[in-house]
Amino acid sequence: MKKYMALLIIPFMAILSSSTASAQQPGPVKNIVIVHGAFADGSGFEAVYNILTRKGYHVTIVQNPLTSLEEDVAATNFVLSRQDGPVILVGHSWGGTVITQAGVSDKVVRLVYLEGFMPEEGETTAQLAGSEPALAENGVMMPDENGLIWYSKEKFHAGFTGDLSREKSDFMYDSQGAIAAKCFTTPVTAAAWKTKPSYGVVATGDKSINPVILRKMYRRAGATITEIDASHVVYISQPAKIAAVIEMAAKGQTAPAR
């Protein structure tokens, strides 16, 4: 009798194990949620959006209020709650800190950091940003009388949009979104990258975040790293390459398809 029961249980356990593994390693993911960073809103992802939606992905762009870490995470969680299945969560620059916290959602299966900060639990964005010397072109200003941080006009093109036209850069400067200083000084209380696969893009021409900082964060997390010769707004100047990294994450690959 015991031998008979074992013969029944073993196949059942194999099926259960297979189902659990399948749940932990989802196949291709169709839902992509993108979180923008400071000083530029989600509209800059239009070209990336167009490439991915033409391939059948469902892409949603979060518009962060940039008022606090908690409120930006809440805005991201609201968008995540509206997705109908597993999600690839993407964050640019400050948006990396946001997805680090919001990425603990059960819907999020993989994370993509586009020049994104990747803090450990208890770390702040300011700590990471100051962990290496700022580059000369960096134009992030000190907080104003309202506790808001702006990017300087004098350094915006060289420091933020170096591979875009002056005309495009001027428009982005005049439409920039200031960020509350407390965003940068609030520590994250969760680090989703510790339990979920992550991908990191380093724009080697970034003057707003020292690329050395990005490499250190991504290596610490064991992320799949892609380096692109571009400015801080790599998603605008190199949308096809950014879409390819996001698609790589959506397919669960660790190298681009040949």
**Dihedral angle sign, alpha carbons of residues 246, 214, 42, 167:** negative
Q: Please tell me the predicted confidence (pLDDT) of residue 15.
A: 40
Angle at 139 between CA 138 and CA 143, to 5 degrees: 125
* Mean of per-residue pLDDT scores for the chain: 91
Phi, psi of 4 (to 5 degrees): -65, -45
Q: How many CB atoms neighbour CB 213 within 10 A?
A: 21
List the end-to-end C-alpha distance of the chain, in Å, as a whole number: 54
Mean pLDDT within 56-75: 98
CATH class of 28-131+183-250: alpha beta
Query: What is the average pLDDT across 92-120?
Result: 98
Domain ranges of the chain: 28-131+183-250
Query: Would you say 29 and 86 are in contact if contact means Cβ atoms under 8 Å apart?
Result: yes
Distances (CA, A) of 211 to 80, 129, 157, 166, 170: 29, 10, 18, 23, 24
Mean pLDDT of 186-201: 98
Cα–Cα distance for residue pair 12/33, rounded to 1 Å? 37
Tens digit of pLDDT for each residue in 225-252? 999 999 999 999 999 999 999 999 999 9
pTM of the predicted structure, to 2 decimals:
0.89
The pLDDT of residue 26: 60
- Specify the pLDDT at position 164: 98
Please tell me the predicted confidence (pLDDT) of residue 42: 96
Query: What would the pLDDT profile of 33-63 be if each residue is shown by its tens digit?
Result: 999 999 999 999 999 999 999 999 999 999 9
Residue 8: pLDDT over 50? no
- pLDDT tens figures, 9-29: 444 444 443 333 333 456 789
Identify the residue whose tokens are 């879409």: 243
The pLDDT-based confidence of 256 (bands split at 50, 70, 90) is low
